[in-house]
Structure formats: C-alpha cells, structure tokens
Amino acid sequence: MKKELVISAKTVEEAASDGAAQLGVSREDIVYEILEEPKKGFLGMGASPAKIKVTYVLKPLEAARSFIETLLKDFGIEGEVILHDDGNGEALITITGEGASALIGHHGDTLEAFQYLVNLAANKKDDEGRQYTRISIDIENYREKREETLRKLASKMAAKVKKSGKNIALEPMNAYERRTIHAEIQKIEGVSTNSVGAEGNRRVIIFPEGAAKPTELAKPEKKNRPRGTERRAPKTERTERRRTEPKTEKEEGYVPRRRSDTPRPAPRKIEKAKDLDAYFAKLKEFSSNHQQ
C-alpha cells in the first residue's frame, strides 16, 4: 500500500523534505518523481517552484493499522489498535473498545473475514523486496475465550466417544478452531481426530483410537417402505378433496380472490458491522483510493 502527495517548494530537495514530514516518515524512506523543475525567472519575474510527487510504501503492519483504523471509523466504532510484532514474519493486532465486539460475529465468523481482509491490505505487493507478514486479529480477548470453550468441548466429546465407541462429528469450524480441537484431543488417550469435508464446511470427527480413520461424514440411513405399503387416501377422501379445492378461472362459478391491502413488512436491516459483503466493498473502495 502506498501514500502519495504532490508537493511544491522552492527546490526539489526542500519539496522532498516537506513531503516526508507531512507523511510522518524520514527522508530516506520516500521516493519522489519530479513533475516540474524550479525556474528562477528573470529579475524575480516568472519564477516558479519545483513540483514533485512523493511516494511512501507502507510496511505491512503500518498498512494493516491504516486499514483497520479506516474501517473502524467508517463503521462508527471507537477502538484502540495495538500491534504486537515478533519480528519473524508473524504479528498480532489486538482491538479493544466500545462496539468493537460487533466485529466478532457468530463463533468468530466475522472476525475471520475481517482478519482475511487485513492480511490482503497489509501484504499488497507494492515493491519487490516486500516480505509477507502473517497477521492475526484478536478483539476483546475473544481468541483466548474461544480456545477455552473449544478445549472443554473437545474433552466432553472425547469422553462420549470413549464411552459409546462411536464417532462424533463436530460443527463446521475454520482452520484455527480445528487446530485447537486436534491439539486438545492429542492429549487424551483412546481417541483421535480427522478433518473431513470441503473448505467452508469442514468438520472435525472424533473417533476411537485404533478404529478406521473416517474420511467423510456418515450418511443417514434411508428407511425404505416395502412396495405396496405406501399410504394412499381413501377414494372418498380424494373425491371430497377435489370438491373443496378452489375452482380455476376457466371453470364455472370461479370467484377471484381479493388481495389483502395490508402492506408487506419492510425487509430486516443488517448492521453494517456484521455484513460481510460490506467488508469486501470497503476493501475494494479502500484499494481504489490507494492505487499504485
């Protein structure tokens, strides 16, 4: 992601220094393109300043912070953004504040979408030497609370599997939550896990250790009714049904039904902060405003 400014000053070097100051970075971190060379004029007449375009390529975490703060402002959420960088290509960004929990969603689905968009914004390839940084987002300490819930769920389901000897399939989860379940089950003797299903609907199956590893969800058994035993309505009932059915427009005695004058209820509004499509729209808008 880039930030760009057009600056005018008496000299090119003065314009470059002013541009760096306005962007809040050092002079060495910017590049510039000369749009107009300065002109001295004659006896002070016809002089014109230098004009340059100053460009600064944000580092991944700077781009991530800028993107998050823009979305929080657009959604009317007051939150504090804190960066935790280990310097090894991975970083954690925590968000706290009133209204920030609206970005979590059901079982963190909105948080996962939000984190995905932040990583897209942070890792745009604006220069060849840029290295990918994997960014995790945590809001109001949700990750720790969710992990504790998943660990308890894994222990409870493992006990059921050991008692019944039957497989148990959990609800669909994202990769982060599935890893938490796998890690917890590895600590428990007598049971094991495997993930099945397509991405977006992938589940963890807990099964007895030593049993065949499940590769797909068990299909429910169909209860087939023997031929000739299908229930059919008695003849008199079928005849009565035809008599009471409303007549069509072509039949004699047809009376058109009157439409109700009651207005239809207005469609339910979806809060912007919980609408995932709004996030993608915001990312597109954000990207178009910061094109190369």
- Residue ranges of the chain that CATH labels 3.30.300.20: 60-140
Closest CA to 117 of 93, 141, 97, 140: 93
Please tell me the predicted confidence (pLDDT) of residue 49.
Answer: 87
CA angle 50, 63, 123 (to 5 degrees): 110
Please tell me the predicted confidence (pLDDT) of residue 126.
Answer: 60
- Quote the CA–CA distance of 287 and 122 in Å, as a whole number: 11
CA 72 to chain centre: 15
Please tell me the predicted confidence (pLDDT) of residue 231.
Answer: 57
- Quote the CA–CA distance of 184 and 127 in Å, as a whole number: 41
- Residue ranges of the chain that CATH labels 3.30.1370.50: 150-208
Please tell me the predicted confidence (pLDDT) of residue 269.
Answer: 38
- Quote the CA–CA distance of 185 and 154 in Å, as a whole number: 6
Mean pLDDT for back-to-back runs of 10 residues, the chain (292 residues): 81 86 80 84 75 83 88 87 83 89 84 88 69 87 91 95 94 88 94 89 92 80 57 52 52 51 43 49 50 40
**Topology (CATH level 3) of domain 150-208:** Ribosomal Protein S8; Chain: A, domain 1 (3.30.1370)
**Which residues 6+ apart lie within 8 Å of 67 measured at CB?**
1, 117, 118, 121, 122, 283, 286
> What stretch of H or E contains 82?
strand 80-85
Please tell me the predicted confidence (pLDDT) of residue 292.
Answer: 38
What's the predicted TM-score (pTM) here? Answer: 0.57
Structure tokens at 200: 């977006």
- Quote the CA–CA distance of 84 and 171 in Å, as a whole number: 31
Between the CA of residue 115 and those of 94, 137, 179, 207, 216, what are the distances in Å? 11, 6, 17, 32, 29
Please tell me the predicted confidence (pLDDT) of residue 266.
Answer: 43
Write down the CATH number for the domain with range 60-140.
3.30.300.20
